[in-house]
Amino acid sequence: MTEFCRTERDGRVLTVTIDRQEVLNALHPPANEELGRVFDEFAADPELWVAIITGAGDRAFSAGNDLKYTARSDGRLPIAERGFAGLTSRFDNPKPVIAAVNGVAMGGGFEIALACDLIIASEKAVFALPEPRVGLAALAGGMHRLPRMIPLKHAMGMLLTGRRVSAEEGYRLGFVNEVVPDGEALAGARRWADQILACAPLSVRASKQSAYQGLGKASLEEACNTSYDQVVAMVKSEDFVEGPRAFAEKRDPVWKGR
């Protein structure tokens, strides 16, 4: 049972809904710990291949850190091992995670979305890293992820001012994959999830791991010549044989994830 979020399994997809509507789905340490356990279970479950995270209601994906809760503790709060929503400090999950941003994604809420592999945003979604306006900084990865996703000057414009960016501008800048009509963020994310599920899951994981870890290499040559364990697993899998066989036999492949 969960207290601060809802989970739903639908085939190979896990949908996680942050459910603290009274504070615009802002997160405090108990919620972060709970979500960390949820995503631990997702990562370990061989039957689940894709996750979607969204916010309850139609106003907010997540307003980030619950500042009122923080203020009551003089800012001295435990830091969740896996970060905001169990995602911002999770670097070892090869399965894709999609953010369905249905409203405000501010501060840690934006950092949760940035920690996902895809961002599908409602046309009414708003993104910002406003931490400097309250004497803080985007310490849950925002300061590092955003400059790696969009041109540096645009990233610095957001980081140094805390300004708000619309879904459409986020798409133009490059951190939003698709803008959908209001109320359709979750449906849009599920459509992307279904496209991922049409691919071999081990191929997807090999691609994700190689792309992210390769960015940390000093050169393209080093990135290409590095061994990635998800690539090794893909090459050794039954799906590695099934894909070409299904193509030759002119049929849809049947992926097993092994």
What pLDDT, in 10s, does the model give residues 129-184?
Answer: 999 998 889 999 999 999 999 999 999 999 999 999 999 999 999 999 999 999 99
- Which pLDDT belongs to residue 77? 64
Q: Which residues lie across from 65 on neighbouring strands? A: 27
Q: How far apart are the first and last CA of the chain?
A: 30
- Which pLDDT belongs to residue 75? 55
pLDDT band, very low/low/confident/very high, at 72 (cuts 50, 70, 90): confident
Report residue 52 as tokens: 């979607």
Question: What's the average model confidence in pLDDT over 206-234?
Answer: 97
Helices (H), the chain: 29-44, 67-72, 108-115, 142-149, 152-161, 167-173, 185-197, 201-215, 220-225, 229-235, 239-248
Report residue 198 as tokens: 């049409």
Task: Kindly tell me if the per-residue pLDDT of 117 is higher than 90.
Answer: yes
**Mind telling me the catalytic residues?**
111, 131
- Which pLDDT belongs to residue 68? 84
Report residue 100 as tokens: 């369905």
> Contact 155/114 with Cβ under 8 angstroms?
no
- Its pTM stands at 0.95
> Contact 189/52 with Cβ under 8 angstroms?
yes
- Which pLDDT belongs to residue 59? 95
Q: Is 22 left (phi over 0), alpha (psi -120 to 50) or beta?
A: alpha
